[in-house]
């Protein structure tokens, strides 16, 4: 099952609504980015945690669907720093896989390279 980033996003209207772009996906890995607009900000004027989570979750989905059809069964996220700038970047990497389950880590950084969140996910 080889899906291109454009084919993957074509089916994900929520990711398109947020402005998420997948730059690479393949062999259990994916990279994505999104430009931050005023629609992505919370009441304090910083990037909403749900936006950061959504970027990580879409990147996780792209990574775990590169070779098989998979669905997330568990996720968690740790917010580590306030993002600065106008771009968020996400990198998903498969950590382990068995016949039925695979584990992934997604690091979300701002444009300065600061790690702002670390997301873990398990796919079935």
b/e string for 33-64 if b means 16 or more Cβ within 10 A? bbebeeebeeeeeebeeebbbbbbbbbbbbbb
Alpha-carbon distances, residue 55 vs 59, 67, 98, 100, 122 (angstroms):
6, 20, 25, 25, 16
Q: How far apart are the first and last CA of the chain?
A: 15
Q: What per-residue confidence (pLDDT) applies to 2?
A: 58
Q: What per-residue confidence (pLDDT) applies to 38?
A: 95
Q: What per-residue confidence (pLDDT) applies to 66?
A: 85
* Block residue for tokens 């098989």: 68
Q: What per-residue confidence (pLDDT) applies to 67?
A: 81
Q: What per-residue confidence (pLDDT) applies to 117?
A: 98
Averages of pLDDT over runs of 10 residues in the chain (124 residues) are: 69 92 94 96 96 98 91 97 97 96 98 97 98
Beta strands, E only, the chain: 20-26, 29-35, 72-79, 87-97, 102-110, 115-123
């Amino acid at each position: 099952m080889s899906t291109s980033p454009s084919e993957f996003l074509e089916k994900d209207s929520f990711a398109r609504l947020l402005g998420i772009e997948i730059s690479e996906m393949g062999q259990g890995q994916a990279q994505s980015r999104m430009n931050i607009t005023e629609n992505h900000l919370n009441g304090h004027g910083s990037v909403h945690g749900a936006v950061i989570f959504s970027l990580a979750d879409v990147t996780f989905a792209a990574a775990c669907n590169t070779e098989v059809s998979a669905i997330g069964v568990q996720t968690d996220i740790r917010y580590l720093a306030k993002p600065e700038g106008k771009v968020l970047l996400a990198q998903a990497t498969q950590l382990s896989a068995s016949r039925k389950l695979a584990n992934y880590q997604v690091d979300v950084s701002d444009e300065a390279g600061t790690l702002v969140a670390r997301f873990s996910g398990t796919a079935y």
